[in-house]
Amino acid sequence: MTGIVLWAANEETRTAPIQLEFSYLSYDQIVSKAGEYHWEAVEKILDAVAGRKHQAVLRWYDTYVGKPTGVPAYIKSLADYRETVADSEKKRTGFPDWSHPELRRFILEFFGRFAEKYDRDPRLAFVQVGFGLWSEYHIYDGPMKLGETFPSLAFQRQFAERLSEGFRQTPWMISVDAAGDHTPFAADKRLLALPFGVFDDSFNHARHGQENEPNWNRLGRDRWKVAPAGGEFSFFESKDQKAALSATGPHGVPFTQQATKFHVSFIIGDDQPRFQNPERIREAGMACGYRFRVTQFAASASRSTVTIQNTGIAPFYYDAFPTVNGVRSQDSLKGLLPTQTRTFQVGAGGGAPTLTIASDRLVRGQRIEFDADLP
C-alpha cells in the first residue's frame, strides 16, 4: 500500500515494481436509473488489479476536462436540472448543476452504498473524493459558481460528514486544494477533526513551496499520522515528469527529501517507466510510507516476544499483526509512527519459530515484508 503508482490501464503494471494502481471512475458508470446500482465497472478494475497482486486507489469524479459530467442519466433527464457546458483548458467541459436537490441527494446515497459494499474489501487501498475538475476541489479554469457549478459550503460539510460515517476502515482522501476559500475545511475545526487524508496532484512543481505547501499547512501537517498522504508528480513542466526521480529532482529537491517532508505513502507516477529503470522506481517506492524492522525476536517453547520499529516515513493504516507459526499477536502495528517501537507478545514459539506479519487487507499473493538483522 505504498510506493510509486501506475494507472491500472498502463501495461507496465504487469512487470513494474509497484504495489498500487490508480483509476478514475464516474458515477454514471454505476448508476443510470434511480436506485439501481451496477458495480461491474468497479469489480472489473479491482479484480484486474488484485490479479496482479496489487491494490487499487480509486477516485470518483463529477467533472473532467473535455468530457461530459459524470452525473447519472436519470438526473440529467429531469426537467429542472440544468448543466453548464463551457471551456476549461480550451476544451468543452460539462459542469454539474449543484443547485438541484436530486444530485445532492444522490451523491450522499452513492457514497453510503459504495462504503457499505467496499469499505472492508482488501482489493481497495484508498479512496479519493472531491468536486470540480478531476475531483481536485477546484475549478481554476471555467465557470466557478458556488451552489451552481460547484457544491455549496453547506453541502461540502454534509458530504465530508457522510464519508466519515461510511468509511470505517478504508481511508478516504481529499485534494490539498480543499484548503481554499471556496471550501469550508480550513475554517471548520469540526471538519478538520475528521480522519481524512490528503493528495497533492502537483507534488514537485517549481512553486510547490509557495503555492501547495500552504494548503498542506491549513489542512494540518500532522494529518498523515491518522490518514495517508499522497498525490501525483506535476505536469506543469515536462521536466516535472522526466526528472521526478532524478538525483536532484526537477527543481533541486530530491524525491526522497520531498516525500519525507510530507510523509507520503504513495505518488502517482504513471510516466516513470519511460524515464527510469525498474530498480530506481523500486528504490523510490520503498522510500514512501511505512517500513518495519524487527529489532528483537525471542521465543520459548510456547511464547514469543517480538519488537518492531517503523523506520519509514508514515504509519501503516490498517491492522497488521506480528504472527509466529500462524498465531497472531493480539496487538496491531496499525498507527506505529516513524521511529517508534512496539513490543508484541505472541502465544506461539518453539525451537525454529517462523515470523510473519499478517493482515486481512492483503490480496492473494501479497505479503508485508520486514527488515531484520538478528543473531
Q: What are phi and psi of 200, to 5 degrees?
A: -130, 105
Among 123, 41, 158, smallest CA distance to 363 is for: 123
Residue 182, pLDDT score: 96
CA distance 211 to 280: 28
Residue 71, pLDDT score: 98
3-class SS at 176?
helix
Cβ burial, residue 213 (10 Å; 0-12/13-18/19+): middle
Domains in the chain, please, with CATH? 3-286 (3.20.20.80), 292-372 (2.60.40)
3-class SS at 273?
helix
| Residue ranges in the chain modelled with pLDDT below 70 | none
Over residues 132-174, the pLDDT tens digits come to: 999 999 999 999 999 999 999 999 999 999 999 999 999 999 9
Q: Cβ distance 187 to 211 under 8 Å? A: no
Residue 375, pLDDT score: 78
Residue 275, pLDDT score: 97
CA distance 331 to 197: 24
Handedness of CA 359, 365, 369, 373 (dihedral sign): positive
Residue 374, pLDDT score: 86
Among 210, 375, 221, smallest CA distance to 294 is for: 375
Cell of 331: 496487538
Cell of 127: 479512496
CA distance 372 to 82: 61
Residue 10, pLDDT score: 98
Neighbours of 223 (CB within 10 A): 19
